[in-house]
Amino acid sequence: MISGELKAALEAEFQAAVTADQPVFGGDINQAARVSLADGRAIFVKWNRSAGSDFFAAEAHGLRTLAAAGAVRVPEVYAVGKHPPFLAMEWIDTERGYASDDFAEALGRQMALLHRATAGQHGLDADNYIGSLPQSNTPSASWVAFFRDRRIGAQMDIARQRGRLPKEREALLTRLQSWLDVFLDDQGIRPSLLHGDLWSGNYMIARDGQPVVIDPAAYYGHREVDLAMTELFGGFPPRFYAAYNEVYPLKGYEQRRELYQLYPLLVHMNLFGGGYAARVDAIARHYGG
């Protein structure tokens, strides 16, 4: 059940009484519910009493940035609240079951089109979050510098603060940072619009069978970052990759896949610890020499 404080905030925002709410499960950071209003509308609401004042505003900005590209559907943002912190969005009826080949093909094509949306620099006009961790998006003309400092370096700082960066791991990651320009063609990498956290838990199959992506950590960067993330936790259906390559062919991606998986692995190591650290070390050792 939503709290009385949240109920009052929603009724003030939507100018309609809340008649029912049903918990929605699936995330491990926020609470969520399907909320019914007296005027017949159904909305999706997520909230987190411990979230910072900009937490849901950052997600809303990411959703609107993706929506503006017109490539892939995202839920429409209705409202962002601060007291208590919440995000209210379009409720999307979904189909149960696994992604079909048609769905995978549509998602692959749509993500390729999203990556065709480009900017002058890597980054974004606002910082946001990856999971519950802060993600700096200060723009940079150099992808190598951005990935080194805003992604690997930033997670190293968090790991150091949380006691998850012993000297050997720090040495491995520092050496990898110094080798990035060997693996990454700084001049040839276009700043593509990225979802930023593209794993199978962050897409839905709408009732009409079309893809909907959710929970972005959006910014402009190397498009291979999104592809690498899709392969980190089980992978997407094969037709997704075939369709993507039909629209926007990849070249040499396999050589950099694990390098780009390092960032989400560092995020998971910092959030959850455990076995992610061994994978971080192995990738750093492979690319750092």
Catalytic residues: 197
Q: Is the peptide bond before 139 cis (omega within 30 degrees of 0)?
A: no
Crossing angle between the packed helical segments 253-272 and 154-161, to the nearest 10 degrees: 30
Give the C-alpha separation, 162 to 154, whole Å: 13
- Collapsing DSSP states into helix, strand and coil, what is residue 277? helix
CA distances from 221 to 170, 224, 256, 277 (A): 25, 9, 14, 25
CA distances from 265 to 72, 120, 147, 283 (A): 26, 28, 14, 10
CA distances from 235 to 44, 103, 116, 229, 265 (A): 27, 15, 22, 8, 15
User: For 270, how many CA atoms within 13 A lie in the half-sphere containing its CB?
Assistant: 25
Residue 249 has a CB neighbour count (10 Å cut-off) of 9
133: Cβ contacts below 8 Å, ≥ 6 apart = 155, 158, 267, 270, 271
Give the C-alpha separation, 262 to 153, whole Å: 12
